[in-house]
């Protein structure tokens, strides 16, 4: 028996790629592909609903999908710690599952894990993220996730050094870490974490040059979702990277 998948936001770049992945996968079937004119009721009957819409639309899609009894894969931005906590309360004890993936690129997930590990050893940390002009939100969900994991990794060490953070040109503070967002031609997606220490700098750079980078993560997420329960953020657990962070945390 195949798993029925509905994609909301199917006409966008990521939505088209996910639709292709579903169509090519032997254990998945496309139940529906929705665009901005579609009624959300079209997802009813799907086993998995994939949301790749916008930060403002995403919560409504997730709520409808859960009410329809589907598991949900969220690829939209805007799911920070506060919104995730609200979703956890909604999903608790329901038997449902929501997997929120800020970035489907396996390399990006590894780079974020490396940044979280390194953040314990540096007090001067900033993030620069670059995306195409058409990306409407900033900072990116990946940058927010990276900053939150670095801040969590630094618990007990104290806040990072972020002088003059009240000046607009210093970026937005996310979990106490300055994040700078560029929106410009000539780039798909790029994130650079810069960590400064006495007499040295460490730069962790991930560059996405094609949307094909997301295929592997999409497949991992769709294959794992039927067996998940509750709310999960990132592909970290699916790749075993959460265990790596825990093993090296000293806790």
pLDDT of residue 246: 63
Q: What integer best gives the mean pLDDT of the chain?
A: 93
- Tens digit of pLDDT for each residue in 17-57? 999 999 999 999 999 999 999 999 999 999 999 999 999 99
Distance CA 193, CA 97 (A): 31
**Residue 110 CA neighbour count, 13 Å, CB half:** 8
With CA atoms as reference, report the closest residue to 142 among 178, 91, 189.
Answer: 189
pLDDT of residue 38: 96
Hey, where are the domains in the chain?
Answer: 3-100+212-239, 106-209
Token pair 């094909």: residue: 212
pLDDT of residue 219: 97
pLDDT of residue 166: 94
Does the pLDDT value for residue 251 go beyond 70? Answer: no
- Tens digit of pLDDT for each residue in 107-127? 999 999 999 999 999 999 999
* The one catalytic residue among 64, 131, 180, 232: 131
13 given a catalytic annotation: no
Of residues 119 and 94, the one with the higher pLDDT is: 119
131 given a catalytic annotation: yes
* The one catalytic residue among 25, 31, 121, 135: 135
Of residues 171 and 242, the one with the higher pLDDT is: 171
Distance CA 249, CA 235 (A): 19
pLDDT of residue 247: 59
- Tens digit of pLDDT for each residue in 145-164? 999 999 999 988 889 999 99
pLDDT of residue 136: 84
Distance CA 208, CA 131 (A): 10
∠ CA 231-8-16, nearest 5°, is 110
Return the percentage of the chain with pLDDT > 70, whole number: 96
pLDDT of residue 237: 82
If pLDDT is split at 50, 70 and 90, which confidence band does 236 have?
A: confident
Is 106-209 in the same CATH topology as 3-100+212-239? no
What angle do the packed helices 58-67 and 81-91 form, to 10 degrees?
A: 10
If pLDDT is split at 50, 70 and 90, which confidence band does 250 have?
A: low
The CATH number of domain 106-209 is 2.40.30.260 = no
- Tens digit of pLDDT for each residue in 187-221? 999 999 999 999 999 999 999 999 999 999 999 99
The CATH number of domain 3-100+212-239 is 3.30.360.10 = no
């Amino acid at each position: 028996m195949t798993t029925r998948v509905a994609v909301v936001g199917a006409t966008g770049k990521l939505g088209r790629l996910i639709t292709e992945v579903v169509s090519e996968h032997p254990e998945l079937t496309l139940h529906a592909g929705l665009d901005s004119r579609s009624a959300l009721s079209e997802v009813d009957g799907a086993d998995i609903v994939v949301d790749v819409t916008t930060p403002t639309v995403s919560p409504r899609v997730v709520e409808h999908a859960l009410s329809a009894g589907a598991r949900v894969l969220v690829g939209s931005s805007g799911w920070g710690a506060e919104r995730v906590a609200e979703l956890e309360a909604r999903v608790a004890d329901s038997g449902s599952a929501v997997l929120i993936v800020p970035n489907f690129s396996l390399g990006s997930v590894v780079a974020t894990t490396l940044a979280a590990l390194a953040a314990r050893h540096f007090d001067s940390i900033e993030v620069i993220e670059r995306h195409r002009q058409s990306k409407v939100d900033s900072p990116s969900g990946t940058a927010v996730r990276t900053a939150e994991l670095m801040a969590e990794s630094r618990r007990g060490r104290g806040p990072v050094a972020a002088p003059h953070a009240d000046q607009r040109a210093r970026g937005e503070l996310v979990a106490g870490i300055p994040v700078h967002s560029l929106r410009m031609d000539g780039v798909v997606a790029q994130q650079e974490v810069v960590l400064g220490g006495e007499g040295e700098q460490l730069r962790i750079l991930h560059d996405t040059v094609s949307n094909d980078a997301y295929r592997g993560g999409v497949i991992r997420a769709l294959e794992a979702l039927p067996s998940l329960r509750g709310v999960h953020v990132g592909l970290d657990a699916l790749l075993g990277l959460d265990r790596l962070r825990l093993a090296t945390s000293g806790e």
